[in-house]
């Protein structure tokens, strides 16, 4: 037992010497990745090889799975998208089903299950001016355009959705609108 105590004391003394020898320098690091987060070091200027998360993409490049969108965020291009822009997807159950899923995540809180503008945020008086889809003269192109850029109080949803998901939502919104107009 005494041996253990002596040994422990010796260890303690040694640890103290090692850790206190120079107070201006960081001493032995226990679990160094708690101090230096290698993969996510945000400060790219440090030359940290794991800093890609903080870098801007090269100008003119497009993230994988994205497609360039040629219409600008202007009234003129809204009108152009409304007449010219067409969905690349076929109208079918699978697309509608996916569209419904995405709509339920991203749009239903304002626009409501039926698209009548009676979503939770509207009922709770948190958001004013949400229209019913039947009262808007919208086309698949204009719906897509509004998902990309938003409109007045409605924000853009482009970053949350892939190109395909946007078109699936467009298809579903079109169906909601048709049902409202019946
Ligand atoms: C935070 C509330 C909110 C959310 C979430 C929201 N919207 Fe809207 N949306 C609005 C409001 C408010 C307007 C009315 C904008 C205006 O014309 O002033 C609107 C208008 C629209 C219009 C009509 C635009 C036009 O051309 O007249 C469409 C289509 C639309 N939203 C689709 C969507 C879709 C699809 C989603 C989900 C991806 C969505 N919205 C999510 C609030 C919202």
- CATH of residue 154's domain is 1.10.760.10
Sign of the Cα pseudo-torsion (63, 65, 71, 75, in order): negative
pLDDT value at residue 169: 98
pTM for the model = 0.75
pLDDT in tens, 129-166: 999 999 999 999 999 999 999 999 999 999 899 999 99
| Structural domain contains residue 138 | yes
Q: Which atom of ligand 1 is nearest to the CA of 109?
A: 5
pLDDT attached to residue 16: 60
How many angstroms is it from 96 CA to the middle of ligand 1? 19
How far is 29 from 46, CA to CA, in rounded Å? 20
Instruction: For residues 50 and 98, state if they share a domain.
Output: no
% of the chain surpassing 90 pLDDT: 58
**Confidence at 52, pLDDT banded by 50, 70, 90:** low
The Cα 93–Cα 97 span in angstroms is: 6
141 with 84: CB under 8 angstroms? Answer: yes
Separation of CA 115 and ligand 1 centre (Å) = 10
Residue 60 — very low, low, confident or very high, per pLDDT cuts 50/70/90? Answer: confident
Tell me which residues have their CB closer than 6 angstroms to ligand 1. Answer: 106-107, 109-111, 121, 127, 129-131, 136, 138, 142-143, 146-147, 151-154, 157, 169, 173
CB atoms within 10 A of CB 135: 12
Of the listed ranges 45-54, 94-103, 118-127, 149-158, the one predicted with least confidence? 45-54
Shared domain check, 175 and 86: yes
* Nearest atom in ligand 1 to 137's CA: 27
Mean pLDDT of 69-90: 97
User: Tokens standing for 115?
Assistant: 């698209």
Q: Is 47 part of a structural domain of the chain?
A: yes
Whether residues 48 and 80 share a domain: the answer is no
Ligand 1, pocket-test mutation among 109, 110, 123, most atoms within 8 A of CB: 110
Q: Is the pLDDT of residue 104 over 80?
A: yes
Q: How far is the CA of 83 from the centre of ligand 1 (A)?
A: 19
Out of 16-30, 59-73, 138-152, 166-180, which region has the weakest mean confidence (pLDDT)? 16-30
- 49 falls within a domain: yes
d(CA 134, CA 149): 21
- State the pLDDT confidence band at 51, using cuts at 50, 70 and 90: very low
Domain of residue 110 covers 75-181
């Amino acid at each position: 037992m005494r041996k253990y105590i002596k040994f422990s004391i010796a260890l303690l003394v040694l640890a103290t010497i090692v850790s206190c020898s120079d107070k201006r320098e960081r001493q032995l690091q226990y679990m160094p990745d708690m101090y230096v987060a290698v993969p996510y070091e945000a400060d790219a200027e440090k030359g940290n090889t794991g800093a890609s998360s903080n870098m801007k993409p090269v100008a003119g490049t497009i993230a994988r799975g994205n497609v360039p969108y040629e219409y600008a965020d202007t009234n003129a291009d809204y009108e152009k998208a409304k007449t010219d822009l067409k969905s690349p997807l076929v109208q079918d159950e699978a697309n509608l089903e996916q569209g419904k899923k995405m709509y339920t995540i991203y749009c239903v809180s304002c626009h409501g299950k039926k698209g009548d503008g009676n979503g939770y945020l509207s009922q709770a008086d948190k958001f004013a001016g949400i229209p019913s889809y039947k009262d808007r003269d919208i086309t698949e192109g204009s719906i897509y355009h509004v998902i990309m850029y938003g409109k007045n109080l409605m924000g853009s949803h482009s970053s949350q959705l892939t190109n395909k998901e946007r078109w699936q939502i467009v298809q579903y919104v079109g169906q909601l609108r048709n049902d409202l107009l019946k």
